[in-house]
Structure 1
Amino acid sequence: MLWIILLLLLFIFQAATILICEYKRPAKSIAWLSILFIFPIIGFIMYYFIAREYARRKKVHGHSSDNSDMQKLQSAPYTVSLDAQKGGDSFLLGEQRLREWLRHVPHAPITGMNQVDVLTNADVTYEAMLEEIGKARDHIHFEFYTIRDDAIGRRFQEALITKAKAGVAVRVIYDGVGSHALSKAYISSLKRAGIAVEPFLKPLIAFFDKRLNYRNHRKIVVVDGLVGFVGGINIGNEYVGGDPKLGFWRDTHVMLHGDSVYDLQRTFLTDWYFVSGERSLGEKRYYPAHSVQESSIVQVISSGPDTRWDAIQEMYFAGLIAAKKRIWITTPYFIPDPSIIMALKSAAISGVDVCIILPFEADSAIVQYASKSYLQELLQVGVRFYLYRKGFIHAKVIIVDDIMATVGTANVDMRSFFSNFELNAVMFDVKVISRLERDFVMDLESSTEVIRSEFEMRSPGEKRKERIARLLSPLF
């Protein structure tokens, strides 16, 4: 009898610990309590090693906005804010709440002198990246969640090595989880050429440091501080259709010139300080004066579990509630938190055209089931869903009316909102929005609409899988 009481007390202690640590995230608490109930003790060990709140960890000094070196980085020279530019008062005219919210995002100035090029799919994006890398004179900063040792990976390996041998400073960051299959030979060849290479967190170190659940999902290329790239595309054959299961891979990236590149640079150097400890962060060589004359308005927003703001999630929410005519979303993973669900429902009920494109074929069955679990309640209020059938759609794009659009690394899911390090470019130029609109319409033509009456007739077995996946979805 005594041992039963002790086991019960142990279970209560474990459950109470999870509830106390995750009080800000009720959905995450429920998911971990479910695992604890199914796998007593083992579930708590899993929680301890991979899911504790990142901000509670002691070893996050390199990724803290309170860090003195970070303060130097965030006040880097030459950054030009729209607030100081002529015509800044007309920015988002008529959308004062959205404008004021965006202006108060920490370390994310709204910049007014930019050139933006939308890059559709990896073949175009890779060629643009390789062309700019080939022009590098001073430095190349290269950061990806996934880098593969395959034909595409070796093209970039060769390009980076060539520039390093020519005297260009090259720094590479890869995520230890996302690039777990990257060979030692690949990394060694870069290092032998004089390239500085660092993992964001090696999987084994991340496990024992209890940060396996937190990943650097950013994709950044900055060349000479003058041109930068950000979006959904990693480095690998699958992005050009090399995965036999997924086939054609549909994605979106943007190439930036001008003020906004300084913020891509700042984000990279923040990550670089974290992985390497290198302190030469505020040198003017990384923020050179540019000659861009185009006045495209861009805001680069980063987020991660180390910050006080869930900046990208809050930017998505602010944009959704500002919509008057349309909300068009493309995302490969759709596991929204309650605030995003409510914003989408409110918009649809008030007559806004809410249209969301998801993959028909997903790269994760459990995530796909979790995504489907949200469809019925949104279909009931008029949200339209389309399933992309030409291949796998991996683009992360949101278009709100004709006032703003965002392209970046963050999905509409709780992992991107609260667990990953992410980076998005928010754009307000009508020409850029129109360009993204054309891509969205093209993707609709390759998609089939989810009909509510048909969707509601799915089998009880499918519905059970969706409920279980949704219960666990905050962990994915």
Structure 2
Amino acid sequence: MIEFLQSHWWTIAITLNYILALIAVVTILFKSINPTKTLTYIIVLLVFPFFGLIVYYLFGQEYRKNKIFNKKDILNNELIQSIEDKLEIKPEALTFYEAEAEEDQIRLVQLLQKNDKSPLTQYNDVEIIINGENKFEKLFKDIESAKQHIHVEYYILKDDKIGTRFLELLLKKADQGVQVKLSYDDVGSKISSKMKRRLTQSSIEHHPFMPVLFPKFTGKMNYRDHRKIVIIDGEIGYVGGINVSDTYVNYPENKKYWRDTHLRITGEAVFTLQVQFLTNWNFVSDKKIELNQTYFPKNKTETITPIQIAASGPDTDWANIMEAIFFSIVTAEKYVYIATPYFIPNDQIITAMQVASKSGVDVRILIPDKSDSWIAQHATNSYLEQLFDANVKVYRYKKGFTHAKTMVIDDVFTTIGTCNMDYRSFNINFEINALIYSKEQALKAKQMYLNDLDNSLCMDYDQWKNRGKLERLKEAYCRLWAPLL
């Protein structure tokens, strides 16, 4: 028997692989998931022995998601129900907006309110912040002024130069009696054991989001918390694309210029950010949170800037941010200006951009000239011809790497947040965006976008279509993996 196993081990192994692969294929076929994603998994399982099973085990199975996030959804609903009466959001916000806005904008507001308990907030001040160095200057100043609580949730939090300054400041405020809660993604973040001990020894509560055994080797593990949120005293909120890492700050010694966008918000929209933080905290801390009236103080902002906070993730019934982006593109009348570091879209977004452009809307997209991922770069390139065919203008940012995740439409609507234009952001990770219905802010975002185009190159379709066959082969290969990236 042993001799038979030794002499036929490869045949046995490959047979066992394909038995398991076929079981996995049948399981996938019975799931109601995107056909493109289904086909990708089937090809990977059948064409790549052993490796395909590993990919499916890490990314394809839903049992972990269903078990964990059904619980999270229950916790979310319980917490939201318990704090709804504490929200100081004016009931007339939508009524006011209906009198001022176009019909399509009102429908977008209603879409999110029905999908994700995302109320339209009316009284807000908002500041668009360009680049990490400017964000951290303002953030540190606000944290220094904190009197009651600081709530922090980041995908990437490292105790490098800027991260250490950030964490030291939190430790200082905790010593002063300010309540600090810190949530960080276990895959994206890297905090030393020494710093974690210091956080534990202080009064700072800190928890990783969905810990993994080997975070260094799971950079694309599913269901990560990709959000970047800070809330200070329930009055000031930060949200956008900038994580806590030296990469995001343009220090003189950095090799690459990093272009990014963030928001500083005061007013009623901060309450919605607070709710999103608390629902996540309820999950990561695994204990019932004690609600405090100071989390939802009386709003002091009198400026009218309508804002909705849209959140999406594996625990939401709908792809809220993707649906908002899709609807706003197909209802645009003049222009759609998109900036994203990763453009690996689903069919809905591609179709929306094509339809808008072919109907006369000026559709532009700004992507990095060189991505920080080889496979993401070629996967992005595989979608460009579909855009060129519909006369969408594609710009490559040449000054450095653009990580901004923004969209501005028709001088009336802007969204800034954490969501990339890719499968992972739309369907897998936890994301959060601010949707701003303001001409003033839209014009600022538009000018910011046009300034970035000054540092970009508009791609020429005639040159692009003459690229070599090897490049096309790379694109085709990487596109095969698009639903998994």
Is TM > 0.5 for Structure 1 vs Structure 2? yes
CA distance in 2, matches of 1:35, 1:452: 32
Give aligned pairs, total: 473
CA contact (8 A) 1:225 1:262 kept: yes
- Residues 73 and 28 of structure 1, relative CA distance in 2, 3 Å threshold: farther
CA contact (8 A) 1:73 1:266 kept: no
1:70 Cα deviation from its structure 2 partner: 2.9
Q: Which runs of 5+ in 1 are unaligned?
A: none
Q: Which runs of 5+ in 2 are unaligned?
A: 1-7
Q: Which residue of 1 aligns with 2:163?
A: 153
CA contact (8 A) 2:88 2:298 kept: no
CA contact (8 A) 1:65 1:71 kept: no
CA RMSD of aligned residues (A): 2.5
Q: Which residue of 1 aligns with 2:4?
A: none
CA distance in 1, matches of 2:210, 2:16: 38
1:361 Cα deviation from its structure 2 partner: 1.8
Name the amino acid aligned to 1:36.
L
| Structure 2 length-normalised TM | 0.92
Worse-matched range after superposition: 404-413 or 194-203: 194-203
Name the amino acid aligned to 1:217.
H
Is residue 2:413 matched to residue 1:417?
Answer: no
CA contact (8 A) 1:82 1:112 kept: no
Is residue 2:250 matched to residue 1:241?
Answer: yes
Worse-matched range after superposition: 127-136 or 277-286: 277-286
> SS state of the match for residue 57, structure 1?
helix
- Residues 395 and 108 of structure 1, relative CA distance in 2, 3 Å threshold: same
Q: Which residue of 2 aligns with 1:111?
A: 121
Name the amino acid aligned to 1:27.
T
Is residue 2:25 matched to residue 1:15?
Answer: yes
Is residue 2:233 matched to residue 1:224?
Answer: yes
Q: Which residue of 1 aligns with 2:264?
A: 255
From 274, 283, 293, the counterpart of 1:284: 293
Worse-matched range after superposition: 78-87 or 340-349: 78-87
CA distance in 1, matches of 2:467, 2:138: 44
1:327 Cα deviation from its structure 2 partner: 0.5
Worse-matched range after superposition: 211-220 or 332-341: 211-220
Q: Which residue of 1 aligns with 2:221?
A: 212
Q: Which residue of 1 aligns with 2:145?
A: 135
- Residues 328 and 407 of structure 1, relative CA distance in 2, 3 Å threshold: same
Q: Which residue of 1 aligns with 2:311?
A: 302
Tell me the alpha carbon deviations over residues 127-180 of structure 1, each in whole angstroms, 9 at most, x when there is no partner: 11101100111100011100112110011011101100000000111101101x
Q: Which residue of 1 aligns with 2:482?
A: 473
- Residues 73 and 155 of structure 1, relative CA distance in 2, 3 Å threshold: farther
CA distance in 2, matches of 1:64, 1:153: 31
1:214 Cα deviation from its structure 2 partner: 1.0
1:93 Cα deviation from its structure 2 partner: 2.2
Name the amino acid aligned to 1:129.
L
| Structure 1 length-normalised TM | 0.93
CA distance in 1, matches of 2:395, 2:312: 28
CA distance in 2, matches of 1:45, 1:75: 43
Tell me the alpha carbon deviations over residues 387-423 of structure 1, each in whole angstroms, 9 at most, x when there is no partner: 0010100000011112211000000111000000000
Is residue 2:64 matched to residue 1:90?
Answer: no
> SS state of the match for residue 72, structure 1?
helix
CA contact (8 A) 1:55 1:305 kept: no
Name the amino acid aligned to 1:134.
E
CA distance in 2, matches of 1:335, 1:284: 42
Tell me the alpha carbon deviations over residues 189-209 of structure 1, each in whole angstroms, 9 at most, x when there is no partner: 2222221110002221899x9
Name the amino acid aligned to 1:78.
L
1:124 Cα deviation from its structure 2 partner: 0.8
CA contact (8 A) 1:114 1:259 kept: yes
Tell me the alpha carbon deviations over residues 318-367 of structure 1, each in whole angstroms, 9 at most, x when there is no partner: 11111011000000000110010100000010010000000012111100
> SS state of the match for residue 182, structure 2?
strand
1:76 Cα deviation from its structure 2 partner: 4.9
- Residues 111 and 240 of structure 1, relative CA distance in 2, 3 Å threshold: same
CA contact (8 A) 1:269 1:281 kept: no
Q: Which residue of 2 aligns with 1:177?
A: 187
Q: Which residue of 1 aligns with 2:3?
A: none
- Residues 6 and 186 of structure 1, relative CA distance in 2, 3 Å threshold: closer
Name the amino acid aligned to 2:33.
K
